Amino acid sequence: MGTDLHALLRSLRVWAPETTTLSPFDPATAPAEPLPLFTEWLARAVAAGQPEPHTMSLATSDEAGHPDVRTVMLHGADTTGWTFATHLTSRKGRHLTARPYAALGFYWPALGRQVRVRGPVTAAPSQEGQADLHARSTGALAAALTGHQSEPLGSLEELAEASETAWTEAQSRPDAPVPTWTLYRLAPEEVEFFQGDAQRRHVRLAYRRRGEGWTSTLLWP
């Protein structure tokens, strides 16, 4: 007998006390800019034991405006923007070439927190992307060298063969270039912080860029 999807969904809980700590968030104490608050929240997610807190949903759209989303890794964040990387020829790379605007979503259920970011995206200079890649693990370089991201795959055997070749090269040449590997930088125009509340009085604080500075406002849950 198959699984009853609706019954399964209704059996699940959100923010169970044994796995989630809903910390109070007073927006009156929030900094004037979003980056320090993001850094603090990420550090707290790490301290709370949140698995892979540096992963995020990346939403892009194709030439026709059709959206797509996937989970990727945050490579960095500073005053110039939030960075992530992929092949220029991948689906998301093609999307960003056609429509250089994206949204990011972080979810840390251990704390009942979300952060949403959106803004225009630019590709960093090639040397910056290569330096970022070569600072990562051998596995990351091997995956990049395997290439063909988002292209149709004939068989798992074909993947295994290409991956084995890429691993050999990554181990023997840790500085091997991958021309299509690109570091992207999202310059935030909007950043929203969401703190869950057990009584559903969720706190939402939205920052919006205004010229060289930021304004912030509370949003209804």
pLDDT digit string, tens, across residues 162-196: 999 999 999 999 999 999 999 999 999 999 999 99
pLDDT at site 1:
65
Are 102 and 58 spatial neighbours (Cβ–Cβ below 8 Å)? yes
Are 193 and 34 spatial neighbours (Cβ–Cβ below 8 Å)? yes
Q: CA 136 to CA 174: how far, in whole Å?
A: 10
For 144-183, the DSSP string reads HHH--TTS--S-HHHHHHHHHHHHHHHHH-TT---TTEEE
Are 194 and 204 spatial neighbours (Cβ–Cβ below 8 Å)? yes
Q: CA 95 to CA 116: how far, in whole Å?
A: 20
pLDDT band at 78 (very low <50, low <70, confident <90, very high): very high
pLDDT beyond 90 at 2: no
Rg (CA), the chain: 20
The string over 123-148, giving b where at least 16 C-beta atoms fall within 10 Å of a residue's C-beta and e elsewhere, is bbeeeebbebbbeeeeebbbbbbbbe
Q: What are phi and psi of 108, to 5 degrees?
A: -120, 85
Q: At what angle do helices 138-146 and 126-134 cross, to 10 degrees?
A: 130
- SS3 for 195-215 is ECCCCCCCEEEEEEEECCEEE
pLDDT beyond 80 at 77: yes
Query: Model's pTM, two decimal places?
Result: 0.93
Q: What are phi and psi of 102, to 5 degrees?
A: -150, 170
Q: CA 73 to CA 201: how far, in whole Å?
A: 30
Assign 28 to helix, strand or coil.
helix
Residue 34 neighbours by CB distance under 10 Å: 24
What value does the mean pLDDT take over residues 140-148? 93
